[in-house]
Structure 1
Amino acid sequence: MARRDARNWSDCTKMIGPLCLIASIFMIHGTSGQQVKVEPEVLSYPGQTINLRCAFTDATGIRLTMVTWIYEPKEGKRKNIAVYHPDFDTSYPKSPVKGRVSFTQSPPDLANPSIQISDVRMTDEGKYICEFATYPIGNEQGITYLVMLAKPQNSASIVTVVAGSKPVVVARCESADGRPAAQISWVTTVNGNATTVSKPGADNTVTVTSEYRMAPTAADNGKDISCVVAHRTQVKPESLLNKLAVQYPPQVTIVGYDNNWYVGRTNVMLICQASANPVPTSVNWKTMSGVLPDTVQIVGNELRVLKVDDAVNTTFVCEVTNRIGTTRDQITAMVRGTRLPEKGPTTGSIIGAIIGVILLLAIIGTAIAMYRKHKKNKLNGGGPPKYKPPPPKKTTSNANNVNSSHVPVAENRNLLNQYYSTQSAEPVTDLDAYHGDDDDDDDNDDGGTEGREHYYSAAPSGWDDPGNNEVPPPYMRTDSDPQDYYPNVNRGDSFVSPAMFV
């Protein structure tokens, strides 16, 4: 077991050496890749002086021997443009920037060998490499891209075209002598397509041209079309607005005829309306027969009829001409013997207006009535009661004290009539049969009904008073005491009044 562990340990120690070597190489290269500090991009306009900065950030344990600046154009070979060695003088080999390039310090600092280029040109654009020769890690470098800018000259123009069915160029936009190339787009409501091309300009600049094509119609004339140019030198895109110029022959319409030309009518008129691009050069009136009536006068695009007669019962023709062509329109006038009745307002409109007025008056009247009623109720103290009515008063009499052979006195009748109601399986007693004290007084005064007894029972309403000699109703028991037929109920325990018998 111990031998096996020893053999495994020996294998591990053999692998540690190569792994450590590989890790150290990666660490050295990873560290050195960040030791040369430069600007990734520098922007410049022609004629300016630019600084290309370079520095070796950490030279601990590293010996710097020499620094070289290298220029690499987009097209062409790499060339050394500036060299410095501490044991020798600075050197500026032959290059496109010779005489315009120099180190910013004199003598140069090997750890900070920045350079400057004066009077930069558009052809100076490209890649600039700051390369250090070091020991023991070898050469290290940093790259800066010089981007030359040239603000372009932007313009847009309209191409005058004739309306047709084939696509043609209707507008052009150009961004000339810019660096880098501009981006052109179009904004318009008409349907069409744009084509864009680029070509080299003077001093390494670029000229971009865009054309807008469409099949123009008369309706497209005068519509807006904008060319939008975006470029790196501009804070925001530049918009160039124009209006389409589409030429088309005249579009003619005759107006003014109301179909009510009657004999004797005066001062009627026909107007020849025309739209065209370019503007019409002539407007001619004539009839189908070729001769205008004597009562007709021509003033520009107007045909005036001084007095209507049978001579104007014809077809009038208006011809309009411009540089593109000639267009005509015609209308036939029919002369009537009498005048057509004038159209008044429609019945439906009148009825609708009347109904609307009635509804409005009804709404106003209802609002006024409700307001007055509310005000009257408020003055009379109307509204829900502000207090609770007292409960019915109890009486100490009971059903056993009722005498079936005697008529209750007026006071008892009023009390029973006020606080109690009869309950039974039969219909409710008609209380209208009771005439009150006033009727009794009247009967006593006459002397004809004195001593008459009133009938009180649970009979349906509408029964007449049977009098003294009539028999009781069929449902009432006569063979037993009324007190036995109805149970004794204490009025204190129930609000139901006892039955009364006569």
Structure 2
Amino acid sequence: MSLSCLLLTLFIAHIVEPEVLSYPGQTVNLRCAFTDPTGIQLTMITWIYEPKEGERMNIAVFHPSFEPNYPDSPMKGRVSFSPSPPDVASPSIQITNVRMTDEGKYICEYATYPSGNEQGIIYLVMLAKPQNSASIVTVEAGTKPVVVARCESADGRPAAEISWVTTANGNATTLSKLGAGNTVTMSSEYRMVPTPADNGKDISCVVAHRTQVKPESFPLKLAVQYAPQVTIVGYDNNWYMGRTNVVLTCQATGNPIPDSVLWKTMSGELPDTVVISSKELKVLKVGDAVNTTFVCEVKNRIGIGRAQVTAIVREPSVNPSNAGVVAGAVIGSLLALLLVAALIAVLVTRSRRQQQGYRANGASDMKTRIFGGGKKASKNGTGGGAGSVGGGNNNSPIYVYNEGSSHLGIGEKNNHHQPLTMGGRPEVVTTTPTAQDILLSNELDDMERRKFDELEEEERYDHFGGGGPILQLRPPHDQDIISDYLDDDMESQRDGSVISRTAVYV
């Protein structure tokens, strides 16, 4: 069956081709056949047309005894039996130059004997391929819903189906309108509240129709006009005194495209160190004059957009490389100072220890050494210190040694030296401190007492279990204080005598 000649066969006893499709201007064949006429007498065939709206009408009648007849109808002159003369068992008809108004129900009715009337029904569907189109409606950004796109399927038969595909937030309304020749025009509008963000979004109108192999799509882009939206880039919050060639850029978007850019400050005038080049503002050298707020104004047909940035001028920051050198120098200096301080502390400590045991007299080489006996007296009453000459008083002798000579002398607090020689060797003569010497020790000044008390424990004689006397150097200020030193470390004995626990230098 071709599009130029559509043939429909209707089978009585419910074997029927229910529908025939045709376009305006074509020729269609509506075929009717009686499948089993055995035992039945076919007397007459009548074709009846029943439009969607209106009354039924006969369009073709055939009786085997008469010629075919075509009553008055919209199809008269265009309808005929095929073949001609018709076959009573297959009385098909043909309609030429079909119109959209020819669409409807066609009934093939048999008058039989003795069964009575039999009929079959065929539907003629007229198709009209629509003219489809879609367009964008340019709108301004606002707060109320407006039509942003339209889609139309004109003069189609049957009515087309229109749908929208988009990410924009809106909805569609569709209307139908009956056109010429029983065609239908479908119109759809997409409505939404337009925003600047919607400008350029994709939206597609999709038209589906029976005459099309597949739906037809119309891709579009929304067109929303809005005033310029402006931003300023380039400020890094590090504008320091003396910095050169810093640039601010005025970036703007808008529909239509912005046509002017204006730079200014909140005070109105731009500093002399600023150069303007279209959307760029260049600061040749940062100084106090650019410690201000810069404003960029952009215009288009819809309106004006503005943006501003406040520049804060700072003091120059320390170069990280120089900072490392300075930090290294400072740390090195501190370490050197600490090393020197430690060395000085060691030397001072050593010197103090030597001065506690020995203090030289710049005017004399004489050193006076006083040896003390042990804390405990021996059973025979003599001191335990080596070098002491037997005496029954447990008191330590006083020795005076002259470094300039090779003999050992005996000294008392009055500084009387009595060197003796026996057999070519220096002899030692002991002198027992008197009660006056002991009493004079109470008059020892506080400074000398503190120095004496600061002696380290290991230098005291009472840390030794025995052995010879301990030698300590004492300042040779005056021999008169010998007894004072003795008294500071004297210990009374049960027999009434007093002995020294520590040797003292004077």
In the aligned structure 2, how far is the partner of 1:95 from the partner of 1:158? 46
Calculate the TM-score normalised by the size of structure 1.
0.61
- For residues 168-183 of structure 1, the aligned pairs below 5 Å read 168-183=146-161
Partner amino acid, structure 1, of 2:185: T
- Deviation string for 1:325-345 (max 9, x for gaps)? 1111111111123136569xx
- Aligned residue for 1:141, secondary structure, equals strand
Partner amino acid, structure 2, of 1:277: N
- Aligned residue for 2:271, secondary structure, equals coil
- For residues 393-404 of structure 1, the aligned pairs below 5 Å read none
The yes-or-no answer on 1:63 pairing with 2:41 is yes
Look up the match of 1:362.
none
Q: Name whichever structure is richer in helix by fraction.
A: 1
**1:53, distance to aligned residue in structure 2 (A):** 0.3
The yes-or-no answer on 1:137 pairing with 2:106 is no
Look up the match of 1:217.
195
Question: Which of 58, 68, 73 is the equivalent residue of 2:51?
Answer: 73
CA 1:120/1:340 → structure 2, altered by over 3 Å: closer, same or farther?
A: farther
Partner amino acid, structure 2, of 1:320: V
CA 1:80/1:277 → structure 2, altered by over 3 Å: closer, same or farther?
A: same
**1:35, distance to aligned residue in structure 2 (A):** 3.3
Unpaired segments of 5 or more residues in structure 2? Answer: 1-10, 322-506
Calculate the TM-score normalised by the size of structure 2.
0.60
Q: Number of matched residues? A: 312
**1:205, distance to aligned residue in structure 2 (A):** 0.3
Question: Which of 270, 276, 283 is the equivalent residue of 1:298?
Answer: 276
Larger Rg: 2
- Aligned residue for 1:291, secondary structure, equals coil
- For residues 89-238 of structure 1, the aligned pairs below 5 Å read 89-238=67-216
Unpaired segments of 5 or more residues in structure 1? Answer: 1-32, 344-502
8 Å contact kept, 1:36–1:54: no
In the aligned structure 1, how far is the partner of 2:192 from the partner of 2:199? 12
Q: Percent identity?
A: 77
- For residues 375-454 of structure 1, the aligned pairs below 5 Å read none
Look up the match of 1:279.
257
CA 1:207/1:46 → structure 2, altered by over 3 Å: closer, same or farther?
A: same
Partner amino acid, structure 2, of 1:56: F
Look up the match of 2:230.
252
- Aligned residue for 1:316, secondary structure, equals strand
- Aligned residue for 2:85, secondary structure, equals coil
- Aligned residue for 2:98, secondary structure, equals coil
Question: Which of 337, 361, 366 is the equivalent residue of 2:315?
Answer: 337
Look up the match of 1:83.
61
The yes-or-no answer on 1:264 pairing with 2:242 is yes
Partner amino acid, structure 2, of 1:177: D
**1:39, distance to aligned residue in structure 2 (A):** 2.4
- Aligned residue for 1:105, secondary structure, equals strand
CA RMSD of aligned residues (A): 1.6
In the aligned structure 2, how far is the partner of 1:204 from the partner of 1:277? 43
In the aligned structure 2, how far is the partner of 1:266 from the partner of 1:40? 88
Partner amino acid, structure 1, of 2:151: C
**1:55, distance to aligned residue in structure 2 (A):** 0.4
In the aligned structure 2, how far is the partner of 1:224 from the partner of 1:257? 35
- Deviation string for 1:5-45 (max 9, x for gaps)? xxxxxxxxxxxxxxxxxxxxxxxxxxxx9437542110001
Look up the match of 2:296.
318
CA 1:239/1:281 → structure 2, altered by over 3 Å: closer, same or farther?
A: same
- For residues 454-473 of structure 1, the aligned pairs below 5 Å read none
Look up the match of 1:309.
287
- Aligned residue for 1:75, secondary structure, equals coil
**Runs of 4 or more consecutive aligned structure 1 residues displaced over 2 Å after TM superposition:** 33-39, 339-343
8 Å contact kept, 1:39–1:53: no
In the aligned structure 2, how far is the partner of 1:35 from the partner of 1:254? 84
8 Å contact kept, 2:296–2:306: yes
In the aligned structure 1, how far is the partner of 2:237 from the partner of 2:65? 111
